[in-house]
Every structure is written in C-alpha cells, then in structure tokens.
Structure 1
Amino acid sequence: MADGVEQATGQRTRFRWLFVLAILTGSFLLFLVQPMVARMALPRLGGAPAVWNSAMLVYQALLLGGYAYAHWLGRVPVRAQAGIHLAVLAVAAIWLPIGLTAMELPADAEPALWVPWLFGASIGPLFFAISAQAPLLQRWYSVASGGRDPYALYAASNIGSFGGLIAYPLIVEPALALRAQSWLWTIGYGLVFVLVAACATLLPRKAPEEPHVAHHSPAPDARRVLHWIVLAFVPSGLMLATTTFLTTDIVAMPMLWVLPLGLYLLSFSVAFREGETIPALLAKFTPIIVLLFGATLIAGHQKLAYFNALIGLVLLFVVAVSLHSCMYRLRPAPDRLTGFYLAMSVGGALGGVFSGLIAPVLCDWTYEYPLLILAAGALAPQTFLFPALARLWQGEGQILRIKILLATLLVAIFVWLGLANPGGVLGGMHEQIAFLAVAAIGLLATGLRVPWLVALAGALFLFGGYRAIDISLSGDRTRSYFGVYTVSDLPDERRLAHGTTLHGIQLKGARARIPTTYYVPGSGVGRAMLAAPALYGPAARIAVVGLGTGTLACYARPGQQWRFYEIDPAVIGLSSGAGKFSFVRQCAPQAAMVVGDARLRLAEAPPASIDLLALDAFSSDAVPMHLMTTEAFDSYAHALAPNGLLLVHISNRFLALSPVVAGAAAQGGWHAARRVYQPNASELLDEAAVSDWIALSRDPATLARLTDGDPRWETLRPRPGFVPWTDDYASVVPVMRAFHPSLADE
C-alpha cells in the first residue's frame, strides 16, 4: 500500500511542469490585462499617471481578495476545493470578452473614487478568479507531491507576471487592436481553465471531511504576521511612489509607468529562492544604494532626467529584492502558505492605498517617496562593509550611545552648513560638500542602523527635502488627482510647472498681458488667434482645451465668445477668478470654464458651435492618447464650424507626434500645415519658447488664408506606413524618439 502511495506521489511530482505552466500562464494573463484595461479606459479617463495608480489600487484590492479566497479554500477537502475553483472560473467567464462597462464619468465625480469603481466593475470577477491561481496551485502542488516545498513556484508566477506586463507595450499593443487583444485574452483564459482542470486531476483523493492540508507547524504570532505585512507594504508603496515621482518630478517618458511594476514583480523571482549569497550582498550594498540614490533622486535635477529615471528604477528593485528576500527568510512551513501570501497581499494593498489614495490627499508633493525610502532603510538588513568599519563602533552602553550622538551632531552640523550658504539651498559648494560629508558618515555607519538612518534623513533633507518643505510652507504648490503644480514667484515673472513641464509664464507689471512661452504671436497658435477676426469676424467663437495659466486669453477681443475646457479643477483655481495667474481675469473675464474631459464635453457641444479650437492638453510630456485618435478628431469636427480651424500643440521631448496628427487628418478629410517656431532675440526677452503647432481645417480656403504664403508653415503629409491612432488601436512605440533616431527632427 505504501509503495503504491509513493508511486502515485512520484507520478504527480513528474507533472510539476503542469503546475508551473498553469501558474505562469495565469500570472501572464493577470498582468497582461492591467495595461490593456488602462488602455481601454483612455477615451474616458485620459492619460494622467494617477489613472494608472488608480488601476493599481483596484488590482491590489482584487489580488488581496483572491489570496483571501485561496486561504479560505484551505478549510475544504482538496477535491472539493478544485471543484469550487473551477466553478468560480466558469462564473467569472460571464465577463468575457474583457472590456469596460458602459459607464460615463460624471462631470462632478471624484476621479480617485470613480475610476477604481469603473475598473472593478469591468474586470473584477475575472481578475479575482485568476489572482488566486498562484497561492492555490502552489498549495495543490505541495499536496500532490507529498509535501514538497512549493515556494519556488512563486518565482514562475512572478516571471509570468513580468512577461505579461512587458509584452503588452512591446508586442501586444503595437501588433493588435483592442478588440483583437480582448479575444486573445479570452483564449488565454480558456487555456488557464484547462490547465487548472488538468492540475486538479493530479490531486489525491481524501475523505470528504479531511482538510486538504493539515496544519502541523505552529501558527505564526501576531508580531510575525505584522512583520510580513510591513515588509510587503514598503515595496508596494514605493513602487507606486516611484511611478508618481518619476513621471511627475523627473521625466514623463512613455511606458515608464510599466517599468516600476515590472521590476517589483521581478524582485519576487530573485528574492524567493534558496541560498545566502543574495541576502549577504544585499545586506552590504542596499544601505549604500538607498543612501546615495535616494538623496540624488530627491534633488530632482532635470538635466539628468534619464539618469535619474534609471537610478530610481534600480533603487526600487534593490529595495524590493532586499525586503522580499527578508520576507522569504521569515516564511512559514508550506501548510501555512496561503496565510503567508494573504498577509503579503494585505501589506501590498495597504502600500497601494497609502501611495495612491492617502498621500495625494494629505501631501501637496510626493512626500510619500522620501518617507518610504526612510522606511526601507529602517527595514532592510544591513551589515558593515568591512571588518575595520565594525571596529569603529565597538563598545557597549554609554560608549556606543556617545558615538551615535556624535554622528548625529555631525550630520546636523553639515546639514546646517549646506543650508547656510549665501547661494541658498539650490546651489553653492557648501551644499555639495555638506552632502558628501553626510554621505560619508552614512557609509561609515552602514551596519549600525540608528546613525545610518540619521545620515539618510540628513541627506534627504539637505538634497531636496528642505526645498520641498519650503515650497509647501509658502503655499506655492498644489496637488490634485492629475498632478503636482508648482508656482515660482520671481521678481519679474511668475511660472507654473506641471511636473517636469513648464506650463506657462506670466510677466509682471505693464507686461502682464503679453503672451509668453509656446503662445507668443509668432507661434502657430499665436498666428491663428491674431487671424481670427479676419477669418470669422468680430464675434468669433474660440475654445481652448487645456487652461494652463490661461495665456491664450490675452488674444481675446471684445465681442468674441471664449470657452476653456479643463479636466482639473485645481488648474481652474490657479488661473481664473482670484487665482495666482491673472491672464483670464484681465483679458477674458467673461470666458466660460467647462470642467471635465474635453473630448466628452466637445461631443456634447452643439454642432458647428466653435470657429477656432486650440488643443493643448498634455500633462507634462505624457500624451492623452484618447485626444489624438481619429474618433477624437471626429469630435472636434462635430464641434467646429465647416470652415473652422483646429490648432494642435505637439511639442514633446519624447514623442514625434506629427505622424499621429497627419494620419488622423488624412482619415478625417482635414487639410493640415505645421509651424515649428524658433523665437528671435527680442521675443526671448518676453520668455518665448520653441513651439510646434499644427493647424487643420476641412476647408482648404481657411487654411490658405491662415498660412498666406508664409514659408514657416509647411504642408503636413502622412508618413508612409504609419497606422493612424484609433480608440481601438494606438501605440507610442512607432513615434518614440528613443526607439527611432530618424524621428529626432520630426
């Protein structure tokens, strides 16, 4: 009898690859659907980084639900458990093919609450069902193999997750339209169902009353469970905080939103493995990376944007591997596996709530980022770099306390020196020397947590934290669901920055009404605004998508009807009424403010109710793709008069957008001309900036009257082979300058 059982167990062990394949496929689908559904939501929600963070909150909550469900299934017999899970998968299939529910965002809705509801209602059951795969099938494998350690299979889960996440922007999105993507995911779901059913056949038969795995190991105490939760909380929160920080304060590069999550998932595969080599290396070098990279990132130097983005990702990966590796070393026996994963998912969900919901409400800047860096430093294991350094800290009791106090005082002195120089906190050798001194103290203290944490806090405060606190205390920064807005008040001008992009400058005094930056009279939009009275008479109807500082309002003339479309109420507060910028107040106080997504509001506008429409709605350098599709241009045509004029701003550091506009123009029957404007020396005095605008009209005579033989207007023609963006198909890969050097001058 015993020989028969061992033979059956060995037979099941040989089918380990089936469990690996089922887990990998499920995880691949789970994280393929995340960017897919976010892409489906673009026509309704836009492309703000916060939309991605809202989606992540939903995914983490559903993952928590799936892990809790897998943990609960441990109460029932193993064969019954398989039947229940297959039934759950079958019921969730009602939501196939995958897509968004037919709900529209109300104009007065709170996006931070409404967006998660939309995602949850659209994919909740499917995500819930598949999210239970990894812990559930690991537990099944342990049962089927006679108690083998199943934790190594979690690496397969995260490799599949990483593969799905990266495959979407690089392979799936460029190759398939959304409808085809949805059906591809549906086929994959069917494959997962078959693989899970096949794994179920390998489970041993037990008496109906016997649970699938009896608990032989002692239950973890509350302190151990809390430790698991905290170790999961920090990497999860740091992943979202890194996404927000990089895309807001460093560089809003397309596809950058996917990379932090991908590295976060990959960290599990590196951490959840046997051996002491990786933990030993991490204990030595994680404190150094956290100290040096964390302080460098908080400084946020824009000239090093790509370098900062790279070290931000490295910092996230190292912290995640370090803390997940610590969690793996504290794992329970396999019979407590689902409870371990449940605690881990609770920590992950709480980290997402902190970075995605709580911090944006409580903080006017991305303060969650340095706070989580400090928390990572407090949790990550660390050892002395060299034995000689350990001898510096030898001693107990009073002697050791004196050494720690001296290190703290040294940090405080150097921080004070860095802040006291006449050049201010932004510059001067005092700051650089002070930072190097604080970093040196931190490196010497690596291995002794308290003085090292003091040095880390000093470095973060000196190299960016002080500046952030000072701006917050001055009231010159506003944070909303759509980003962080910073107002800089200089002697002769006032500036508004949204993330890394300058969104407007208003000069002071007698020059307060002069259009600046991308909107000067010589720019494409400036020429169109000046031509509006001649093109449409004194009662021209003008609309602008994207308020910014309201600079364009100073082209308004008596008798004209002006309307601004703005999705973020915080921007309206800054640039209208008694806001910090007075363009609208001084030049077009009668202008109407329409709150909400411009594409939806323009679709609701009366036909032919606008003569000139200026589209300038980018958030930093992130592109709201839903405003650049052929369907979006149909909405603009609906609102514009037959001879109406559309101006599209395409200045962008990372994307060459002229092929996108040219493709939409060709599809929609538009005539188009492009004006790349380089300001002259006199205009630079009025803070003019290089700008790239495209003018479109369905009436060739109107476009001809605007361009009027000016050689700086060039006819825009479609790029051969470029597929126009639609709501069903759009990819930034073909227009990314980094991937296509030939687009550098586009």
Structure 2
Amino acid sequence: MRLAPSWGWISLSALGSALLLAVTNQVSVDLAQVPLLWALVLAMYLLSFMAVFSKRSLYNRKLLGTLLYLLTPFAAWMLLEASSVPIGILVPGWCLWLFVATTCFHGELERRKPDTNKLTAYYLAISAGGALGGTAIAIAAPLLFDDNIELPVLLVAVPLLFHITGRSAMNRSSRTRMLARTLPPALSTLICAVTVIIHFEDLSRKCHSSARNYYGTLHLCTGRINGMKARLMLHGNTTHGAQVLEPDFRMEPTTYYTASTGAGLALRLNYRRREDKPIHVGVVGLGVGTVAAYGRTGDVFEFYEIDPAVIESARKDFTFLAGSAAECRVHLGDGRLVLEHQLRAGSKADLDVLVIDAFSSDSIPVHLLTREAFSVYMQRLAPAGVLAFHVSNRYMEIERVVSRLADDAGLPSLYLDNEPDPFGLDSLWVLVTKDESFIESMPDYVVVRRPGPGTVSMCSLWTDDYSNVLEIIDFFPKGEERRQ
C-alpha cells in the first residue's frame, strides 16, 4: 500500500528532525550542555537542507546511500563504546552521520517535490513533519520509555527506511539487481541491530531499574566493590555513587569519596575537624549521598540536587543519608541558585566545607564554573573553609578552569590525582582554601599551585558572559578515563 504524498512528505521530514534531536541529546550527555554544540549539530541538519534544496541539488542517492549503509554501523559502534571513544572521534562522527542521514531523507523529500499548485501543501507537510519528529523525541519518548532508546532504534531503522524510499525503482529491477540493492541495507541493519542488542544486553545484565526525566536517565545497577556486592547509581554511562551491601561496610565511603580523595581530605582535615568540633558542610550534587558517611553527631550536611529522581533514589535505594550521624538536609533545585538564595537570606561564611560535584554524566554545567559562581562559593565558606571541586571527566580538563578561578581570586589551588583504594575509583579533585595549616597537612601526592604568573596553564577566565569549552577539551586523551 502506497502512502498518500502528504504522508510521505511528513514522514521524511519527521525522520530528519527526530535524528537531529536524538543526536543532540547524545552529544549533550557526553560533553557540555552549551549552545556551541547544539549549533554544530544543528548546522549539519541545516546543511542537509541546503545541499538538496539548492538551485543545483547535490543529492546523489547511490553515493549517499552507500555512505549511509557504511556509517550507520560505525555510529552504532560509537554508541556502544561511548565511554572509551575519544571526543575527537565522537563529535565529528555523530555530525558526519547526521549530515549523511538527514541528506538522504531530505533528498528523497526534494525528489518528491510536487508541481507548483501543490507547493503550499508540500511545505506545510514539511513543517508538520519537523514538529512531529521533534515532539516524538523531546516529549513522547521521555514519557513512554525509561531509557534512551530512540537513538538506538533510529540507528537500526535508518538503513531499512532509506532502502524502502527507493522501492519504486526496485519494482522495475530484475531479481538479481533487486538482491544486490537489498543486501547492503540488510547487512547495515543487521550489524546495527546486533550492536544495539549487545548494548542493551550488557546494560540489562548490570542494571535492574531505570528512571528518566528532563535531566537524563538514571540506572540502578549491581556490581562489586573490594570483592563485596554493591549497588551503583549510573547517570548516562557514568557511575555517580555506590554503596557496599554488606552490613559492616554499608557506611564505608566509596567511588570518588574515599578517605584519600579531595572530598575525604577536606572533610577529615578541615580546621574544625582538627579541633574535634562539629562541621557544617554543603554539597552541590547529591549522587547517592556518600559524603554523608563522614558525618558525626552535631554535624550538619546540606545537599543541593536539581534532579528529583536522584533524591528519590538516594533516599529509597541507598542508606548513606538515613544512616549518617549528621543532620542531613536535601534542597531540591539548582545548587548555585539555592546557595545564592541562602546567601541573600543571611547564610554567610557558614560552611566549613563546600563540595561541588554536580556534573551529570560527563557533561558540565558551565554556570557552576564561572567567576560569579566562585564568588558565591567563597562568600558561603568560613574564612578557613575548604572548597572542593570534583573535576574527573573523560574529555575535559576542568581542573584548569578551577585553577584559573582560584588564581583570579588570589588563592592557592590543590590538585589531587590519587590512585583508587580498594573501595574507590580513580578521581581528580581541586581544593581551594585560605587555610595554610590545612595545606601543610596534605599528603605527598597533592600538588599545590600558588597564584601568580605562569602558575596556570593557558585557560580563559570563565564568567557568566564568557566561557570556552573548546580550550579545555582533550580531543584524543592518552591516559585512562578519569570517570568510570
């Protein structure tokens, strides 16, 4: 049965916009949610329109179809190995695949362009299709699915759908030629299907529940830490906390928050803890609440978390908050905004330790790394307080931004690249403090950077008006990933 022309126009246009949003979501999760990346992906989408609807169309079905059948399995591989593929391959790879895929469907859309008397309906159908595809990815998919399955589904479907758009030409072909034309898309679809199945099979084997909302996808998984069964929280493909399930080790700090990490040192060796006095701690980014394991009677730990699903999981699936001896308060909202609100309400110089660890998956919320945000943090810190930034990231050298902020404020920064202990993961931290006695108490693996000329590698000072993610991206990292 052949679709009416208007439905064909709508379908082809919807596929293009669905691909645009699905790839944008993927790139944003792996990097930063900044307009620069959205514009780059959007440019590929718009260029595909220009290529096929220009006065002299560049659309060549045979050439682009071949590229599509070759590149789609490559895109499926990038999805499967996202945590280990260099960003210098990921971003160009996704952009190239998006350009080829959208050019294929937009080329078929242009090939079906009607006579002048039907152009109004044609362009209206293109607009409706674009809106439909965008709605399916941005609104319907998060409501219907607990995981990001739209991009994997599109990867499997794209070669087959493009092949179907040329069925009229196949009907006029001999059986041999029809088989020759069917084999490449069939192989491409098969490879993508197998890759996607492996991806979800691996995920389902480790994870037993998922939750999805505007802020991303959370997976609750099981694993082992130091040989003992543990429960883990994953955001995207990044571990955001874990708890050992053995009763004697439930309150043992794990992953990025063990005793030798920046958070562990700040919480154990800050000036009030050295005097055996209660401490007041702020933590931007709840995770599973691991930091609460350091709480003692009389302490107050305030957590700032923007994602309600994270708060629900930390309270329901993990016991760090409930089992802590400290008073734990959880604030729902953007960490910086809540800190500013508390500052205006009179909470000033009241935090002995402030931990900044709000980097979902491996993307970074830039507004937490600006001069203005740094000023808010320092106003909330006690004079001898410690500001701890968790800067582990697969692709970006966030420590350079933090060191530049500290240098601008005339403060030393302490760089910690510690090896994991039996309960932890390799992690990177930058600590900022005015407390010289705290700095002197640091172990040998802590590198102290004093403010002054030549102490900070080339990096711009980020403000609310200016930031440059490109200058801190390590496009082809040589070492192991810093965040797992």
Q: TM-score interval w.r.t. the shorter chain? A: 0.7 to 0.9
**1:494 and 2:275 matched:** no
Q: Confirm or deny: 8 A CA contact 1:608 1:639 kept in the other structure.
A: yes
Q: CA RMSD in A?
A: 3.5
Aligned pair partner of 1:646 in 383, 387, 393: 387
Aligned pair partner of 2:308 in 569, 594, 614: 569
CA drift of 1:615 comes to: 0.7
Which position in structure 1 is the counterpart of 2:341? 604
Q: Confirm or deny: 8 A CA contact 2:414 2:431 kept in the other structure.
A: yes
Distance 1:592 1:251, change over 3 A: same
CA drift of 1:285 comes to: 4.8
Structure with a larger share of its residues in strand? 2
CA drift of 1:612 comes to: 1.0
| CA distance in 2: counterparts of 1:739 and 1:284, whole angstroms | 28
| CA distance in 2: counterparts of 1:360 and 1:458, whole angstroms | 26
Partner AA of 2:287 in structure 1 = G
Which position in structure 1 is the counterpart of 2:471? 734
**1:235 and 2:235 matched:** no
* Structure 1 residues 627-706: aligned runs within 5 Å: 627-679=368-420, 683=421, 685-686=422-423, 688-697=424-433, 700=434, 702-706=435-439
Aligned pair partner of 1:357 in 139, 145, 150: 139
Paired residue secondary structure (2:148)? coil
**1:267 and 2:8 matched:** no
Q: Confirm or deny: 8 A CA contact 1:549 1:574 kept in the other structure.
A: yes
Partner AA of 2:41 in structure 1 = P
Which position in structure 2 is the counterpart of 1:506? 243
| CA distance in 2: counterparts of 1:676 and 1:613, whole angstroms | 19
Aligned pair partner of 2:320 in 549, 563, 583: 583
Aligned pair partner of 1:468 in 194, 200, 225: 200
Structure with a larger share of its residues in helix? 1
Which position in structure 2 is the counterpart of 1:447? 182
Q: Confirm or deny: 8 A CA contact 2:397 2:472 kept in the other structure.
A: yes
Paired residue secondary structure (2:182)? coil
CA drift of 1:540 comes to: 0.9
Paired residue secondary structure (1:634)? helix
The answer for unaligned runs of 5 or more in structure 1 is 1-221, 395-443
Which position in structure 2 is the counterpart of 1:620? 361
Paired residue secondary structure (2:4)? helix
Paired residue secondary structure (1:343)? helix
CA drift of 1:518 comes to: 1.6
Q: Confirm or deny: 8 A CA contact 2:78 2:90 kept in the other structure.
A: yes
CA drift of 1:356 comes to: 1.2
* TM-score (normalizing by structure 1): 0.55
Distance 1:479 1:535, change over 3 A: same
Aligned pair partner of 2:130 in 343, 348, 362: 348
Distance 1:391 1:555, change over 3 A: same
Q: Deviations over 1:555-581 (max 9, x none)?
A: 1111111111111011111112x22x2
Q: Confirm or deny: 8 A CA contact 2:22 2:150 kept in the other structure.
A: yes
* TM-score (normalizing by structure 2): 0.83
Which position in structure 2 is the counterpart of 1:530? 268
Distance 1:500 1:309, change over 3 A: farther
Q: Deviations over 1:151-200 (max 9, x none)?
A: xxxxxxxxxxxxxxxxxxxxxxxxxxxxxxxxxxxxxxxxxxxxxxxxxx
Q: Confirm or deny: 8 A CA contact 1:283 1:383 kept in the other structure.
A: no
Distance 1:553 1:446, change over 3 A: farther
**1:483 and 2:220 matched:** no
Distance 1:287 1:721, change over 3 A: closer
CA drift of 1:694 comes to: 1.7
Count the aligned residue pairs.
457
Rg comparison, structure with higher value: 1
| CA distance in 1: counterparts of 2:309 and 2:349, whole angstroms | 29
Paired residue secondary structure (1:591)? strand
Aligned pair partner of 2:331 in 594, 599, 608: 594
Q: Confirm or deny: 8 A CA contact 1:247 1:499 kept in the other structure.
A: no
* Structure 1 residues 49-68: aligned runs within 5 Å: none
Q: Deviations over 1:355-385 (max 9, x none)?
A: 1121112211111113334553454235899
Paired residue secondary structure (2:278)? coil
Aligned pair partner of 2:284 in 526, 541, 545: 545
Which position in structure 1 is the counterpart of 2:456? 719
CA drift of 1:320 comes to: 0.5
Q: Confirm or deny: 8 A CA contact 1:382 1:447 kept in the other structure.
A: no
The answer for unaligned runs of 5 or more in structure 2 is none
CA drift of 1:546 comes to: 0.6
Distance 1:709 1:599, change over 3 A: closer
